[in-house]
């Protein structure tokens, strides 16, 4: 049934479906980024497709891939990869779109947060770690790294030994916004690693 999804996509979007494959039941369509949002909206709203569940979205860096022996030429350094499932039709599909040049510039694609609201954090993660910009995202900012972090740590050209700037502790007054910081751990909370007298509060020697 998932192969039928690929056929419907090709009939609906024509040449904008750049390639498809169904290896080992992995039904995948590579889309032109220009139809990314339209294809997603179609797959959710069409009664025969009914892809109501967004399972996962991530960004993949293929820097240097074309230099490997036997590798096919490819356009776009990055791939945005989206996995979808239909709870009523019980079929699934993987969508891909290639973005960005060799230097990582131009890595952008339309956000699909208004198609599946749950993709919000996934797009933020791909933005934070890989540096893919999702156009129209309602709150596109880092989600794992702190705001002052420089670069994108899952890019293949990110130096493993890079030292990031240390950021001093800021009060809410200094930051100019509510930080919602958790209160510090009490003595009996948190991880015990590094305590010189671990267990002493329980009478252990």
Look up the CATH number of the domain holding residue 32. 3.30.460.80
Give me the mean pLDDT over the 6-19 stretch.
97
With a cut of 70, say whether residue 181 has pLDDT above it: no
Asked if the structure places residue 144 within a domain, the reply is: yes
Distance of CA 175 to the CA centre of its chain: 28
Asked if the structure places residue 181 within a domain, the reply is: no
Phi and psi at residue 160, to the nearest 5°: -65, -25
Out of 11-25, 37-51, 120-134, 171-185, pick the least confident. Answer: 171-185
pLDDT value, residue 71: 58
With a cut of 90, say whether residue 29 has pLDDT above it: yes
What are residue 59's DSSP bridge partners? 80
63 close to 155: Cβ distance less than 8 angstroms: yes
Asked if the structure places residue 28 within a domain, the reply is: yes
pLDDT value, residue 1: 56
Mean pLDDT of the chain: 87
Question: What gap in Å lies between CA 28 and CA 23, rounded to an integer?
Answer: 9
What are residue 187's DSSP bridge partners? none
Give me the mean pLDDT over the 181-192 stretch.
58
- Structural domain harbouring 130: 2-161
Asked if the structure places residue 141 within a domain, the reply is: yes
Please, which pLDDT band fits residue 110 given cuts at 50, 70 and 90? very high
Please, which pLDDT band fits residue 35 given cuts at 50, 70 and 90? very high
pLDDT value, residue 170: 72
Picking from 36, 56, 40, 62, the residue whose alpha carbon sits closest to that of residue 133 is: 36
Give me the mean pLDDT over the 49-59 stretch.
98
Give me the mean pLDDT over the 41-45 stretch.
98
Report how many domains make up the chain. 1
pLDDT value, residue 70: 62
Picking from 122, 106, 89, the residue whose alpha carbon sits closest to that of residue 2 is: 89
Asked if the structure places residue 172 within a domain, the reply is: no
Asked if the structure places residue 186 within a domain, the reply is: no
In sequence order, which residues have a C-beta less than 8 Å from that of residue 96 and are 6 or more positions away? 28, 29, 30, 31, 79, 80, 81, 82
Give me the mean pLDDT over the 73-77 stretch.
80
Asked if the structure places residue 128 within a domain, the reply is: yes
With a cut of 80, say whether residue 182 has pLDDT above it: no
Asked if the structure places residue 201 within a domain, the reply is: no
With a cut of 70, say whether residue 114 has pLDDT above it: yes
Give me the mean pLDDT over the 127-132 stretch.
97
Supply 9's token pair.
């996509």
pTM for the model stands at: 0.80
43 close to 115: Cβ distance less than 8 angstroms: no
Question: What gap in Å lies between CA 201 and CA 186, rounded to an integer?
Answer: 13
Distance of CA 39 to the CA centre of its chain: 18
């Amino acid at each position: 049934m998932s192969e039928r999804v690929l056929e419907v996509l090709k009939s609906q979007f024509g040449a904008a479906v750049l390639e498809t494959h169904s290896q080992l039941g992995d039904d995948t369509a590579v889309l032109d980024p220009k139809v990314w949002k339209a294809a997603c909206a179609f797959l959710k709203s069409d009664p025969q497709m009914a892809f109501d569940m967004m399972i996962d979205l991530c960004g993949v860096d293929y820097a240097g891939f074309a230099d490997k022996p036997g590798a096919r030429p490819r356009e776009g350094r990055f791939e945005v990869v989206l996995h979808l499932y239909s709870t009523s039709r019980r079929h699934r599909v993987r969508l891909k779109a290639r973005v960005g040049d060799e230097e990582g510039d131009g890595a952008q694609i339309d956000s699909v947060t208004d198609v599946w609201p749950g993709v919000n954090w996934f797009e933020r993660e791909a933005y934070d770690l890989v540096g893919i910009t999702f156009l129209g995202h309602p709150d596109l900012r880092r989600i794992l790294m702190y705001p002052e972090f420089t670069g994108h740590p899952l890019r293949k050209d990110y130096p493993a030994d890079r030292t990031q700037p240390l950021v001093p502790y800021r009060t809410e007054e200094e930051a100019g916004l509510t930080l919602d910081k958790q209160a510090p751990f009490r003595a009996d909370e948190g991880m015990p690693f590094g305590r010189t007298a671990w267990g002493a509060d329980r009478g252990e020697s």
